[in-house]
Amino acid sequence: MLDKNGKVTGGKLLYRDEDLTQYTKEEEWLRIRGKKIAMVFQDPMTSLNPVRTIGEQITEVITWHFGTPHAEAKAEALEILRKVGIQDPETRYKQYPHEFSGGMRQRVVIATAIACRPEILICDEPTTALDVTVQAQILSLIRELQRELKMTVVYITHDLGVVANVADWVGVMYAGQIVEYGTVHEIFNEAAHPYTKALLQSMPQLGVKGHDLYSIKGTPPSLYKEIVGDAFAPRNPDAMEVDFEEEPPMFQISDTHFAKTWLLHPYAAEYKQLLDERHAKIKQEQKPTEPFNYEGAEKLLQVKDLTVKFKLGSKEFKAVNGVSFDIYKGETLSLVGESGSGKTTIGRAIMRIYSKVDGSITFRDKPITGKINRHRAKELRMKMQMIFQDPMASLNERAKVDYIISEGLYNYKLFANEADRMKKVEAIMAEVGLSSEFSSRFPHEFSGGQRQRIGIARSLIMNPDFVVADEPISALDVSIRAQVINLLNKLKRERGLTYLFIAHDLSVVRFISDRIAVINKGRIVELAECEELFRHPLHPYTKALLSAIPYSDPDIERNKTLLHYDPSMHDYSTDKPQWVEILPGHFILANEKELEGYRAELQTMG
Q: How much is the average pLDDT of 494-517?
A: 89
DSSP category for residue 291:
P
Q: What is the mean pLDDT of residues 176-186?
A: 95
0.85 surpassed by pTM: no
pLDDT band at residue 475 using 50, 70 and 90 as cut-offs: low
Angle of the 374-383 helix axis to the 401-412 helix axis, nearest 10 = 150
What percentage of the chain reaches a pLDDT higher than 90?
46
Cβ partners under 8 Å of residue 479, min gap 6? 198, 199, 202, 215, 216
d(CA 312, CA 159): 36
Q: Considering Cα of 474, then 478, then 484, then 485, what sign does the dihedral take? A: positive
**Are the CB atoms for 229 and 245 separated by under 8 Å?**
yes
- The reported pLDDT for the residue numbered 5 is 65
Q: Name the strands in the sheet holding 251-252, side by side, starting at the edge strand that comes first in the sequence.
A: 169-174, 177-183, 258-259, 251-252
Does pLDDT of 1 surpass 60? Answer: no
- Mean pLDDT score, 520-528: 94
For the residues 248-276, what does the mean pLDDT come to? 95
| DSSP 8-state class, residue 422 | H
Residue 446: exposure state from Cβ atoms within 10 A (0-12, 13-18, ≥19): buried
pLDDT at 231 over 90: yes
Whether pLDDT at 588 is above 90: yes
Rg (CA), the chain: 26
What integer is the mean pLDDT of 521-535? 94
Q: How far apart are CA 597 and CA 606, in angstroms?
A: 14
Q: Which of 7-21, 53-67, 123-137, 505-519 has the lowest mean pLDDT?
A: 123-137
Average pLDDT of the segment spanning 349-364: 91
Q: Which residues pair with 177 in a beta bridge?
A: 174
Task: Give the DSSP letter string of 79-130.
Answer: HHHHHTT-SSHHHHTT--GGGS-HHHHHHHHHHHHHTT--SEEEEESTTTTS
**Rounded alpha-carbon distances, angstroms, from residue 493 to 369, 384, 461, 496, 500:** 29, 17, 16, 5, 15
**What's residue 441's pLDDT?**
92
Please say if the pLDDT value at position 418 is more than 60: yes
DSSP run (H or E) holding 493? helix 478-495
Contact 254, 181 (CB under 8 A): no
Q: How much of the chain, in percent, has pLDDT values that exceed 70?
A: 98
Q: Are 204 and 213 in contact (CB under 8 A)?
A: yes
Q: What is the pLDDT of residue 3?
A: 55
**Type of residue at 139:** L
Return the closest-CA partner of residue 137 out of 390, 335, 339.
339
Nearest partner of 499 among 391, 507, 490, judged by Cα? 490
Residue type, 604: T
| Tens-place pLDDT, residues 368-402 | 988 888 888 888 988 999 988 777 777 888 999 99
Kindly report, residue by residue over 202-223, the tens digit of the pLDDT: 887 767 777 788 888 877 887 8
Per-residue confidence at 360, pLDDT binned at 50, 70, 90?
very high
Question: H-type helices in 181-339, by residue range?
Answer: 184-189, 194-201, 241-245, 269-285
How many residues does the structure list for the chain? 606
Tens-digit pLDDT profile for residues 182-192: 999 999 999 99
The confidence score (pLDDT) of residue 2 equals 46
* Res. 143: pLDDT tops 50: yes
> Nearest-CA neighbor of 242 among 215, 224, 264, 275?
264
pLDDT greater at residue 286 or residue 234? 234
Section 518-546 average pLDDT: 93
All structural domains of the chain: 20-157 (3.40.50.300), 174-285 (no CATH), 299-397+451-536 (3.40.50.300)
508 vs 302, which has greater pLDDT? Answer: 302
Q: pLDDT tens across 50-108, in order?
A: 999 999 999 999 998 888 999 999 999 999 998 888 888 999 999 998 888 777 888 89
539 Cα distance to chain centroid: 24
pLDDT tier at 412, thresholds 50, 70, 90: confident
CA–CA dist 539, 259 (Å, integer): 45
- How many beta carbons lie within 10 A of that of residue 444, not counting itself? 9
- Residue 576 CB partners (closer than 8 Å, separation 6+): 591
The pLDDT mean for the chain works out to 88
